């Protein structure tokens, strides 16, 4: 993982950077609950509207690595294998959208366009 921080609003680039080659994912998952209403239906296609709720969660841990802080004022290395950064993020999004399905023999192609102005990030 490469982490950049912008600690000064007076400069365009980053002030701090750390590099952690030993980074592993703790978890990455997503669920989506939705309902669909089909407005058009043919023998091999469907088109309609949808509404739902989606949540996406990620977490990882970075160990060891190197750092440059305060525009190069502090440069060094973290001990190998020692946890440096733990990170997790959750995205929550109620949404509305358009859905489409197309079927050819035993194959199905699905399209889902989602829109949300109510999403949250935690």
Q: What is the mean pLDDT of residues 92-121?
A: 97
pLDDT top residue among 30 and 84 = 30
Cα 90 from Cα 57, distance rounded (Å): 4
Confidence band of 2 (pLDDT split at 50, 70, 90)? very high
DSSP string, 63-78: EEEEEEETTTTEEEEE
> What phi, psi does 13 have (nearest 5°)?
-100, 180
Confidence band of 122 (pLDDT split at 50, 70, 90)? confident
Residue 57 pLDDT more than 90? Answer: yes
Q: Round the average pLDDT of the chain to a whole number and report it.
A: 96
User: What residue ranges define each of the domains in the chain, with the CATH number in brackets?
Assistant: 2-121 (2.40.128.90)
Residue 84 pLDDT more than 90? Answer: no
3 forms beta bridges with 18
**For the whole model, what pTM was predicted?**
0.72
């Amino acid at each position: 993982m490469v982490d950049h921080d912008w600690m000064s609003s007076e400069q365009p680039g980053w002030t701090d950077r750390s590099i952690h080659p030993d980074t592993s994912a703790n978890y990455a998952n997503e669920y989506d609950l939705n309902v669909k209403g089909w407005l058009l239906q043919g023998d091999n296609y469907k088109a309609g509207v949808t509404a739902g709720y989606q949540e996406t969660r990620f977490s990882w841990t970075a160990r060891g690595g190197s750092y440059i802080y305060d525009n190069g004022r502090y440069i060094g290395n973290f001990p190998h294998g020692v946890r440096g950064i733990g990170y997790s993020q959750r995205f929550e999004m109620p949404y509305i959208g358009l859905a489409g399905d197309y079927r050819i023999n035993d194959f199905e192609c699905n399209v889902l366009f989602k829109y949300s102005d109510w999403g949250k990030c935690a």
